[in-house]
Amino acid sequence: MNVDESAIPSRGFWAEAWQRFRGKWIPMAALMVVVGLAVVALLAPAIAGTKPIVCKYKGRLYFPALAYWNRGLENPVFFVDRFHKRYPENLTQKDPDSWAVYPLVFQDPYRRVRDGEREGQAGNRVGAAPSLRNWFGTDHSGVDVFAQMVHGTSIALMVGFVSMGIAAAIGITIGACAGYFGGWIDILLSRFIELVMCIPTLVLILALLAILETPTIWHLMAIIGCTSWTGIARLTRGEFLRLKQLEYVVAARALGVGNVAIMFRHVLRNALAPILVPITFGIAAAILVESGLSFLGFGAPPPNPSWGTLLNAGRSNMESWWLILFPGFAIFLTVLSYNLIGEGIQAATDPRLRQSQH
């Protein structure tokens, strides 16, 4: 081996996996879609809305669009001055020197844009087909579908990440304990996993929503997370059972390394790549569950725009095809992307594929 070459630190497992992942265009395209959706979710108030991104009013700068993230971020001055959410006309009326930068699309996800709200833009018609003014059409109360979808993106993504975050934390912990310690602990935890597997998620969610007084999207995520960790747990258990017999784990025990350190430093690090795959698939499944619930009318509470809620609206107005097509396609694209990413991770980290290269 050349000396100069050997001084370079070798790339780690994840760096190599990333390079292999990057080399394949399908999972990369899927990753781009998800990254794109995340960007859309983050910039939603700047993409579609009726509140200015930034405006100068009575000598001060304001960012009313932040209200779409959190109502508390809207400066009280606009309430005091009775804007009634109609910025363009009020701004010019109450302060002729004011200026404002509006989102790309002047449409609100919560309400219908009325006539004369903004100069040169007519109000939304109810149940309008897609047009230049309403790209994806409007629903039965005249709210723009595009704006709803843009603002619904964050819910779709959050449902995936938060619920799978909860599921991964529970699943990995339980699976790791069952696989590593074995014996009675394994028997008990495995039976517990099987017990949870038997609970139909949808029914449990419906039951809990009936009990809760004010169900929010967070309750939904928690319930999805608490019921969908079983696959992750079983896979983690399997990986731990396999890995704990390997000699480097025995070597670590012989060196006097403690159980927790072995579980996390030695075993989990090697088990993580295969576990990542069901997590990505789980994100896709969680998005589907949320859309399904919204479709049935049990989803995110009404004011929140969500793709599933749009589908639900489309169900009662079958001739409004745009209410089905666009959100349906968005759900399809997101779920497909996550599944493709999952497959891409599998291909990039599978040891068998790696060996065949040598």
Using CB under 8 A, list all residues that contact another protein: 2-3, 6-7, 9-13, 246-248, 250-258, 261, 265-266, 269-270, 356-358
Copy the structure tokens of residue 137: 């059409």
Q: Which is nearer to another protein, 212 or 251 (CB)?
A: 251
**How far is residue 332's CA from residue 187's CA, in Å, rounded to a whole number?**
39
- Identify which of residues 268 and 277 has a Cβ nearer to another protein in the complex: 268
How far out from the chain centre does Cα 152 lie? Answer: 10
Taking the CA of residue 191 as centre, how many other CA atoms within 13 Å lie in the half-sphere pointing to its CB? 5
Quote the least distance from Cβ 14 to another protein, whole Å: 9
Nearer to another protein, 60 or 269 (CB): 269
Q: How far is CA 119 from CA 44, 88, 89, 123, 337, in A?
A: 23, 8, 8, 10, 40
Closest distance between another protein and the C-beta of residue 6, in Å? 5
3-class SS string, 104-139: CECCCCCCCCCCCCECCECCCCCCCCCCCCCCCCEC
What order do you get walking across the sheet with 60-62 strand by strand?
60-62, 54-57, 99-101
Q: Which is nearer to another protein, 174 or 262 (CB)?
A: 262
Q: How far is the CB of 22 from another protein (least distance, A)?
A: 13
Beta carbon nearer to another protein, 77 or 250: 250
Contact between 50 and 57 (Cβ < 8 Å): no
Closer Cβ to another protein, 99 or 248, answer by number:
248
What six digits make up the tokens of 1?
């081996």
Shorter beta-carbon distance to another protein: residue 71 or 358: 358
* Least distance in angstroms from the C-beta of 190 to another protein: 15
Of the two residues 5 and 115, which places its CB atom closer to another protein in the complex? 5
Of residues 245 and 316, the one with the C-beta less far from another protein: 245
Minimum distance, C-beta of residue 270 to another protein, in the bound complex (Å): 6
What does R_g of the chain's alpha carbons equal in angstroms? 25
Residue 269 beta carbon to another protein: minimum distance, rounded to whole angstroms:
4
> In the bound complex, what is the minimum distance in angstroms from residue 21's beta carbon to another protein?
14
**Minimal distance in Å, beta carbon 230 to another protein?**
24
Residue 4: CB minimum distance to another protein, A: 9
